[in-house]
């Protein structure tokens, strides 16, 4: 009986503490505009594998709970928007070695992003994160697979209860918007990318 009682109590505790709440971290892509952008006249590709898209990540929230999201899938619309702002066309690719897609669409070079995230909260009674951090490491490779540009960008977002009570993943959205804005600035300022124009 004692073992059953203990198991029951632990099960109840698991229901109320340590839950992983699903959120969506996609930022408002309408805020990723083309102001101050000097377009680069070439087509590019970007690689997000099916495995990456379906990979979920769990990080800390508040009150002992956790949050769960799909960083690659949910960041892809913003990644596509930024690349489309800078370059003539951007094409999704499942691998760097899709030669037929590269040839058919005149892809000059390919971006390969890697995303790392973390979160935390000062809240004891609410589960949404008050702080969210995202690191976007991205490299550009030419048609031979040679890396000629690589950089890491960081976004940080903070939101208090009064702000996120109507938008639970607000801290995450602020972080992802910031990192994508920094990514666009970095692409726009990179001379290595402009030397790849036809």
Decide: 172 and 118 in contact? Cβ < 8 Å.
Answer: no
CA distances from 118 to 84, 89, 115, 162, 171 (A): 27, 31, 10, 22, 11
pLDDT of residue 85: 98
- The 8-class DSSP code of residue 38 comes to -
Closest CA to 112 of 150, 86, 77: 150
Distance in angstroms (rounded) separating the CA atoms of residues 22 and 4: 31
Task: Band the pLDDT of 157: cuts 50, 70, 90.
Answer: very high
Residue 51 has pLDDT above 90, yes or no: yes
* Global confidence as pTM: 0.88
Q: Which domains does the chain have, with CATH numbers?
A: 38-194 (3.40.50.10610)
Mean pLDDT of the region 49-60: 97
Does an H or E element contain 82, and which?
Answer: helix 71-86
Chain centroid to Cα 67, Å, comes to 15
Q: Which of 6-15, 62-71, 153-162, 187-196 has the lowest mean pLDDT?
A: 6-15
pLDDT of residue 18: 58
pLDDT in tens, 6-48: 333 333 334 444 589 999 999 999 999 999 999 999 999 999 9
């Amino acid at each position: 009986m004692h073992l059953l009682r203990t198991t029951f109590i632990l099960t109840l505790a698991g229901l109320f503490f340590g839950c992983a709440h699903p959120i969506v971290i996609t930022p408002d892509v309408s805020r990723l505009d083309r102001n101050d952008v000097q377009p680069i006249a070439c087509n590019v590709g970007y690689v997000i594998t099916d495995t990456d898209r379906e990979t979920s990540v769990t990080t800390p929230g508040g009150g002992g709970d956790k949050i769960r999201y799909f960083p690659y899938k949910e960041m892809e619309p913003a990644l596509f928007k930024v690349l489309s702002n800078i370059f003539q066309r951007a094409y999704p690719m499942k691998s760097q070695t899709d030669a037929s897609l590269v040839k058919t669409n005149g892809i000059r070079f390919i971006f390969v992003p890697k995303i790392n995230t973390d979160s935390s909260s000062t809240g004891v009674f609410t589960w949404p994160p008050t702080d969210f951090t995202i690191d976007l490491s991205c490299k550009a490779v030419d048609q031979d697979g040679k890396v000629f540009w690589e950089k890491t960008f960081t976004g940080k977002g903070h939101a208090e209860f009064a702000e996120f009570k109507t938008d639970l993943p607000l801290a995450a959205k602020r972080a992802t918007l910031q990192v994508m804005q920094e990514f666009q600035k970095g692409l726009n300022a990179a001379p290595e990318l402009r030397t790849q124009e036809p």
